[in-house]
Structures are given as structure tokens and as C-alpha cells.
Amino acid sequence: MIPLLIILGPTAVGKSRVSIILARELNGEIISADSRKIYKYMNIGTAKPDEEERKEVPHHLLDLIEPYEEFSAGRFREEAEKVISQVHQRGNVPILVGGSGLYLKAVTDGLFSGPRGDKDKRKKLKQLAGEFGSLYLYEKLKEVDPLAASRIHPHDLVRTIRALEVYEETGKPISTLQAEGKQERDELYETTIIGLNRPRPNLYRRIERRTEAMFARGLVEEVRNLLKQGFHENLVSMQGVGYKEVCGYLHHRYGEEEAVRLLKRNTRRYAKRQLTWFKKDKRIQWINISENESAEEVVKRMKKTLAN
């Protein structure tokens, strides 16, 4: 198995600096697991590592595609697996770093595609939901796949129907098929997952300072140049936090001060969503960083965790 170290956490928690220091000490190479850093030309708004940081240790999976191109978690998994293998073959430690939960999950657990589904069966299930309510189908799912039901919100009709579809098509619960896929991943990597977190007030202050620094470094000009190159604000890449707020300002929907406020607010909300996702994964070993703790001190604690 290939040893794989994963460092994750919410945006602005300090993953980048910590991972660079740790990579230097472990003879590691950093593989970005960030759904926004894959885009070319989008540097300031994605907090992409600069040239000096990239010189300190090798970084991978940055600047992969144009802002107008589509990219999926499945493609990320393919790209990441190739790089992880190459880093391992060089005798170095692959370190997957990021905050994009689905991308990380694609590598650690794989992505379950399952059967394509039967349109007639899906239509029938939707008709049942329309007649008896979504909870009726949810109760059906609890009967055939209680584990999947425990992971799905009772009012999440799309996922409930998908789970019932898979059961009807294969005769197996979707949770069983997902577990089989995860077992294959477990046989591929020997994974250690470390999560970084901070007290919420400290994290929010860091988000506010970083937002202000982005504007000072030229975020508005970066977005203006992207729009001049023809990258429309409705592109998926331009709808990311940092870009959609500045697009609103540049299209005169509000002033720059409001753009700053919106970016701070939306980044806080994004960080909360990330933490909600990560908290479900019991494999993560959490390190809570105090406000005045340096990146070097955090790395010392991480190395103790890795030694245990």
C-alpha cells in the first residue's frame, strides 16, 4: 500500500503554510485537493500558493484547466491517483492538502456510480412521492437499506430515489455497494487524515484579514482581467466565493465596500459547510490550533500525532 497523508480543514485555517513546513521535513510533495485552485489565472481569489512557496516544495494539481472548462470529482481522482503514484515512486511522501470534501472523498473512498437507472422506475418512484409524500419513500428505504437511510435526510428526495433505484436494479443496498468500493480504496492506500481547526472567533478573524489582503493584492483587477478575457460571470469557476462577489461590484450591482462584506460573510458560511462535512468522518485526527500558535508549533504537534 502507498502511505498517503491528508491535511484538511476549513478555508483560512492555515493548511498551506503548515503543509509546506511538514512537507520539507518529511521529504514530501503537496497535492492540492481544492476545487478552485485547478483553474488557470485564478490566483488571488483562490489563495493559490505563490512562486516562492512552490519553490519550497513541489506542488501538484494547480492550474490544470481553463476557467471555462468543466471538471469533476471523478477526474480529480484520476489525476490525483497518477500523481500520488509518481510521488511514491520517487521515494517521497504524497501529502494531499485541501478543503474540498468531495475531492478528498473521491480519493479516500472512491466514487460510487452504480447502475444508470431505469427511467420508468424513477418516474414511478416520483409519482409515489407525489401521491404519498417523500417520507413514504424514505420509509421504504429504511426497510431495504437502513444504513443508507441513516445517512440521507428524510426530505432529500433525490438521494432517496437514487438509493431505491440501485436496490431495485441490483438487489443490493447502495450502502453495501459503497462499502465494497471503499474497501478497494483501503487496499490501495495506507491513509492518515489530520484535520486542522481553530476556535470559531479566531477562524473568522483570519477570514476577514485574508479577505482584506486579497483586495489589497489586486483581487478586483484579477477578476476584471478574467471578464476582459471573455470568462463570463455565470461560469462555474466565476461563481466561486471571491469571484462572484467581485463580479457583482464590477457590474455595478453594489459598491466595493459591500463586495468586501459579502466576501467575508460568504467565506464564513463556506467554512461552516466544510466543517459540517468533515465532522462526519470519524477517521480524521483533529488538531485545534490556538490563536497565537505558529505554523512550526503546529507541525511539531502533527509529527507527534503521526508518530503514534
Asked whether residue 297 is domain-assigned, the answer is yes
d(C-alpha 289, C-alpha 95), whole Å:
20
Same domain, 137 and 193: no
Summarised one tens digit per residue, pLDDT across range 246-291 is 999 999 999 999 999 999 999 999 999 999 999 999 999 999 999 9
CATH of the domain at 101: 3.40.50.300
Check pLDDT > 70 for residue 184. no
- Residue in the structure block whose three cell numbers are 450502502: 175
- Complete DSSP assignment for 108-144: HT---------HHHHHHHHHHHHHH-HHHHHHHHHHH
Same domain, 31 and 87: yes
pLDDT (0 to 100) of residue 170: 87
Summarised one tens digit per residue, pLDDT across range 59-117 is 999 999 999 999 999 899 999 999 999 999 999 999 999 999 999 999 998 876 667 66
Is 271:10 a contact under the CB 8 Å cutoff?
Answer: yes
pLDDT (0 to 100) of residue 185: 62
Same domain, 127 and 163: yes
Asked whether residue 178 is domain-assigned, the answer is no
Residue 230, Cβ neighbours under 10 Å: how many? 9
d(C-alpha 248, C-alpha 220), whole Å:
11
Residue 156: pLDDT band (50, 70, 90) is: confident
**Rg of the chain on CA atoms, in Å:** 21
Residue 123: pLDDT band (50, 70, 90) is: confident
Query: CB-side exposure of 226: number of CA atoms within 13 Å?
Result: 30
Pairs from 17-23 (Cβ < 8 Å, separation ≥ 24): 17/295, 18/196, 18/295, 18/298, 18/299, 18/302, 19/95, 19/97, 20/49, 20/53, 20/56, 20/57, 21/295, 21/296, 21/299, 22/95, 22/299, 22/302, 22/303, 23/56, 23/57, 23/93, 23/95
Per-residue pLDDT, averaged over 150-177, amounts to: 87
Asked whether residue 38 is domain-assigned, the answer is yes
CATH of the domain at 123: 1.10.20.140
pLDDT (0 to 100) of residue 120: 83
pLDDT (0 to 100) of residue 113: 62
Range of weakest confidence among 108-112, 166-170, 182-186, 205-209: 182-186
Residue 95 backbone class (left: φ over 0; alpha: ψ -120 to 50; beta: rest) = beta
Print the domain residue range for 81.
2-110+184-307
User: What is the distance in angstroms between the CA of the first residue and the CA of the last residue of the chain?
Assistant: 19
Same domain, 159 and 280: no
Q: How many domains does the chain have?
A: 2
Percent of the chain with pLDDT over 90: 79
C-alpha distances (whole Å) from 294 to each of 10, 21, 48, 65, 81 are 17, 11, 20, 34, 32
Same domain, 98 and 126: no
Same domain, 126 and 82: no
Same domain, 39 and 163: no
Same domain, 51 and 188: yes
Per-residue pLDDT, averaged over 134-150, amounts to: 92
Check pLDDT > 70 for residue 57. yes
d(C-alpha 266, C-alpha 278), whole Å:
18
Same domain, 194 and 50: yes
Asked whether residue 158 is domain-assigned, the answer is yes
pLDDT (0 to 100) of residue 117: 67
Asked whether residue 148 is domain-assigned, the answer is yes
Q: What angle do CA 152, 10, 150 make, to 5 degrees?
A: 15
Same domain, 46 and 18: yes
The mean pLDDT of the chain is 93
97 φ, ψ (degrees, to nearest 5): -125, 130
Percent of the chain with pLDDT over 70: 96
Asked whether residue 179 is domain-assigned, the answer is no
Those residues with Cβ within 8 angstroms of residue 130's Cβ, 6 or more apart along the chain or in another chain: none
Same domain, 301 and 164: no
Same domain, 229 and 271: yes
Asked whether residue 240 is domain-assigned, the answer is yes
Per-residue pLDDT, averaged over 21-32, amounts to: 98
